[in-house]
Structures are given as structure tokens and as C-alpha cells.
Amino acid sequence: AQTVTQSQPEMSVQEAETVTLSCTYDTSESDYYLFWYKQPPSRQMILVIRQEAYKQQNATENRFSVNFQKAAKSFSLKISDSQLGDAAMYFCAYTNYGGSQGNLIFGKGTKLSVKP
């Protein structure tokens, strides 16, 4: 069975600085998707970024980028120029390629605080 592990329960960053959130996963599949979701206090999960395992290029969305290391089964999220609105829970998630993109296995999350 696939698993997702986030080893940092909490992280803190100064406004305008850069922070990296870690995620590792375990799977025997060769093709899959990885995601980072943000969950603010409103509880609504918001997709931040998605990575297809068959793509070697790391995904980027504005201030958010990932470092995808397939052999190491590592998928970290880098947030540049952190803003107060980035404060939230961040969840790493996995799904098999060919499965449903909403049928996700989530990690336990990392709580990110942003200091002004």
C-alpha cells in the first residue's frame, strides 16, 4: 500500500523569506501523481501544485515550486517570498496514474506559520 509521510508537524518562516516543506512517500508504482494542498482555517483544501512522476522537470506555480526526487521518493515544496496569507496547514498527497485525481492518500500535514 502507498504511504505519504510528512516529518515536520510545524514550520515557521519570516515574511518575505523562503521555506521548504518536506514529504516522502512509498509506492511500488512507476507512474503516479503527487500534490501539495493548502488548508486554511476555513478547512477548504486548495490545490497548490501538482507533479506527474513521468516528468523530470520540477513543477512551478508562481512562488511555489517542488523538488521531486523520484529515486529517493522525496517531494518537497518550496515557498519563496512568503506572505502572511501562506499561513495554513499543508498536505502532501499521492495518487496512482490511471486512478482518479481526487482519490488521494494524504500525509499528516505541516502547519506553517508566517511571522510579520
Partner 1 sequence: EAGVAQSPRYKIIEKRQSVAFWCNPISGHATLYWYQQILGQGPKLLIQFQNNGVVDDSQLPKDRFSAERLKGVDSTLKIQPAKLEDSAVYLCASSRDRNTEAFFGQGTRLTVV
Quick one: which segment of 10-18, 24-32, 62-70, 96-104 binds partner 1 (CB under 8 A)? 96-104
Euclidean distance between CA atoms 40 and 46, whole angstroms: 8
- Give the nearest distance from C-beta 64 to partner 1 in angstroms: 15
The interface mask with partner 1, positions 42-71, x = CB under 8 A, is xxxxxx--x---------------------
User: Which one, 16 or 46, has the nearer CB to partner 1?
Assistant: 46
CB neighbours of residue 113 within 10 Å: 14
User: Which one, 18 or 54, has the nearer CB to partner 1?
Assistant: 54
Residue 107 interacting with partner 1 (CB under 8 A): yes
- Give the nearest distance from C-beta 98 to partner 1 in angstroms: 9
Quick one: which segment of 17-25, 52-60, 74-82, 94-102 binds partner 1 (CB under 8 A)? 94-102
Long-range contacts from 13-17, C-beta under 8 angstroms, 24+ separation: 13/79, 13/82, 13/112, 13/113, 13/114, 13/115, 14/82, 14/114, 14/115, 15/82, 15/83, 15/84, 15/114, 15/115, 15/116, 16/81, 16/82, 17/81, 17/82
